[in-house]
Amino acid sequence: MRKISLILFIIISILIQCPKKKKEPEDLELLQKTVAPPTPISNTCVSISGWVGRKAAEKNFWYGVTFGNNLFVAVAGTGANRVMTSMDGETWTARTASEQNQWISITYGNGLFVAISNTGTNQIMTSPDGITWTSRLAPEINQWYSITYGNGLFVSVAITGTNRVMTSKDGITWSIQSIPEQNSWNSVTYGNGLFVAVASTGTNRVMTSKDGTTWSSVNVVSNIWNSITFGNNQFVATSIYGDKRIMYSSNGVDWKYSSAPEANPWYAVTYGNGIYVSMSYIGVNRTMYSTDAITWTPIPAGDGTWFGITYGNDKFVAVAQDGTNQVITAECTKQ
């Protein structure tokens, strides 16, 4: 009996000390294949949330808004203080403009905010912080209507005047540029190494330039093209009149057209993080958005006459000439 117990003890000891079988490489490979990788989370916008009304610093006619250096800055055509600034797009502070002009458009580049006007003697003002503004002289007293920055150059276009383009490397000293057609150039943007402007009058209502100096005409449908933006490797323009109120192009020369979901006058358009957003100053739904510039979705935006829109810090901000709330904000909805 003792002999049997000893034998059992030896067998158990051997089994305990015996190393466990390791998984063979092919077993590990099979295990890895059966475990699905985590689904990546996209940071790109697929839609925008509903607009939230905000109180403007003053009840002015707010026309243009931009974002730069972590600051939203808007300009107005009327009022005691024709500039307002905000860190978050929600709470705004009135600032004094350098001149009581009708300030129409504003951009940011090279550490400087630059705004242009369609009235007054000094039709340009600049600011490094959005608070303190300095008047600058335009090379011609035109009705300057839009300004952009790209490739180290500020470019502004006008709806009247002999020479309807002006350029500046520093935003302070400006040079006039001749253009191929005396159209009403309403908007200009920069992308893919190209400046592109759109007009509401004329035979060829698009013009392009690589350097802001030499411009070439492009023929498009004769709508009242009022705004243009660049994003996701294509230019997108909107019109306030016509059957096809949206056009888009990857090179600024070859354009395709799409229909707006509602026949509103689509006055302004911008791009932010994968999505285009356009604003109208009348209509039931005064906002439309799209991820591809082809299919657009309308949403309500209150009763404001929306003239300006920008994007910054995952947020769209629009400003209006009048309305219950002259500022609205909408956050980006991600996939």
DSSP one-letter string for 175-197: EEE--S----EEEEEEETTEEEE
Q: Mean pLDDT, to the nearest integer, of 92-120? A: 98
Given pLDDT bands bounded at 50, 70 and 90, which one contains residue 35?
Answer: low
Q: Mean pLDDT, to the nearest integer, of 198-206? A: 98
Size (the chain), residues: 335
Given pLDDT bands bounded at 50, 70 and 90, which one contains residue 40?
Answer: low
Tokens 């790209």 belong to residue: 150
Sign of CA dihedral 212, 215, 217, 222: positive
Q: Mean pLDDT, to the nearest integer, of 211-215? A: 98
Query: In terms of Cα–Cα distance, which of 62, 136, 68 is closest to 318?
Result: 62
pLDDT at 334: 84
Domain boundaries, the chain: 46-334
pLDDT at 329: 98
Q: Does residue 13 carry a pLDDT above 60?
A: no
**Alpha carbon 329 to its chain's center:** 13
How large a percentage of the chain has pLDDT more than 90? 84
Q: Mean pLDDT, to the nearest integer, of 309-322? A: 97
Say if residues 74 and 308 touch (Cβ distance below 8 Å).
yes
119 SS3 class:
coil
pLDDT at 28: 45
Q: What is the pTM of this model?
A: 0.88
Q: Does residue 15 carry a pLDDT above 90?
A: no
Question: Position 258: which residue type?
Answer: S
How large a percentage of the chain has pLDDT more than 70? 87
Helix spans in the chain (H) = 2-17, 25-34
Whole-number Å distance between alpha carbons of 127 and 141:
21
Say if residues 217 and 172 touch (Cβ distance below 8 Å).
no
Whole-number Å distance between alpha carbons of 198 and 189:
9
φ and ψ of 150, to 5 deg:
-170, 145
Whole-number Å distance between alpha carbons of 102 and 307:
14
| Furthest-apart CA atoms within the chain: distance in Å | 120
What does pLDDT average to over the chain?
Answer: 91
CATH number for region 46-334: 2.130.10.10
pLDDT at 37: 56
Q: Which residues contact 176 (CB under 8 A, 6 or more apart)?
A: 139, 140, 163, 165, 166
Q: Are strands 306-312 and 246-249 parallel, antiparallel or unpaired?
A: unpaired
Q: Does residue 10 carry a pLDDT above 80?
A: no
Given pLDDT bands bounded at 50, 70 and 90, which one contains residue 38?
Answer: low
pLDDT tens figures, 69-105:
999 999 999 999 999 999 999 999 999 999 999 999 9
Q: Poorest-confidence range of 36-40, 90-94, 160-164, 273-277?
A: 36-40
Given pLDDT bands bounded at 50, 70 and 90, which one contains residue 335?
Answer: confident
Q: Mean pLDDT, to the nearest integer, of 297-303? A: 96
Say if residues 188 and 203 touch (Cβ distance below 8 Å).
no
- Residue 129: count other Cβ atoms within 10 Å of its Cβ: 14
pLDDT tens figures, 230-239:
999 999 999 9
